[in-house]
Amino acid sequence: MEQSAAMFVIFLVFCSAISLASGEVNNTYFITAPGVFRPGQPFKLRVALSDAVTGSVNVACGIMGTKQKIMIASQSGTFSKGPTKEITLQIPHGVASTSVQYQLSVNGTGGAKFSEMKYIRFEEKGFTIYIQTDKAIYKPGQNVLMRIFGVNPDLKVYTGNLTVDILDPSGNKMAHWVNLNSQSGVIKREFLLSTQPVEGNWKISVTAAEDQKAEQVIEVKPYVLPKFEVKVNLPAYALEGQKQLLGAVDVKYTYGKGANGRANIQLYFKHLWLGQETLIRQRHSCC
């Protein structure tokens, strides 16, 4: 529920009374802001002033951690009545979740005066990095094909620089690429395994925007694909007194074609204490 709630905006509605020469007039300020902020991502507030506001209003906003009392980002702008306008806080990279709570403060001066605060959440994941490989298991001497891209919360592709490392199971860096980027945002790379690599789980590690990281694990081991597959299809149970048990043996090559051969079929009953008792042993041709 917390993740889905982050997709909504919180509404900050500020109402105040300004004393004028002719008397008091109620003025309304409508400001919306996201309920979560992320490192390296812009944090946008939308400000709308009603027709009752006279003169321009200077709006200053900032995000501060309640524990260290350190201002993470701040910005100000001048607004007047009319269409809704934006004010953007640029959240820096490298922001760590060191505070229990974060406050968004908004203050207005000039044509209207107000001071309000709301608690918002911090999410360390600025955007999502995807690492795709052509398969999960590789044999020695094979080529590892990979495709890497990032997606921002607004679903736009990340087009900044990426750093990619290939690590063996011992943590040794076997490949290192820096400042990778493309106009499409998709990075393609290849890595050729040696004929005698360290067997086990290798890692593809990607770093972007200083503090955004992702990893993908691949396995390196010698293996041989089976030439064919045997499946035995039988009913789940047999009735007492039943004279026939009908089933089928299906043998196919890995590419789907049926295989020819002979199958030894054995039906046995397994006693709990006496062990295995063979009931039927037959030999059939398969095609």
Interval 1-58: pLDDT, tens? 343 333 333 444 443 322 222 223 455 788 888 888 988 889 999 988 888 888 889 9
Ranking 37-51, 139-153, 226-240 by mean pLDDT, the lowest is 226-240
Q: Across all residues in the chain, what is the average pLDDT?
A: 81
- What is the number of residues in the chain? 287
Interval 185-202: pLDDT, tens? 999 999 999 999 999 999
The pLDDT value recorded for residue 63 is 92
The pLDDT value recorded for residue 4 is 36
Kindly indicate the confidence band of residue 258, based on its pLDDT and cuts at 50, 70 and 90.
confident
The pLDDT value recorded for residue 74 is 93
The pLDDT value recorded for residue 247 is 82
The pLDDT value recorded for residue 244 is 80
Q: Are 218 and 133 in contact (CB under 8 A)?
A: yes
Q: What is the DSSP letter of 183?
A: T
Q: Are 249 and 187 in contact (CB under 8 A)?
A: no
Mean pLDDT throughout 116-125? 86
Residue 64's nearest CA partner among 55, 73, 56 is 73
pLDDT at 281 over 80: no
Tokens standing for 115? 């001071």
Place of tokens 């040794």: 172
Interval 153-183: pLDDT, tens? 878 898 889 999 999 999 999 999 999 998 8
How far apart are the C-alpha atoms of 224 and 69, rounded to whole Å?
A: 60
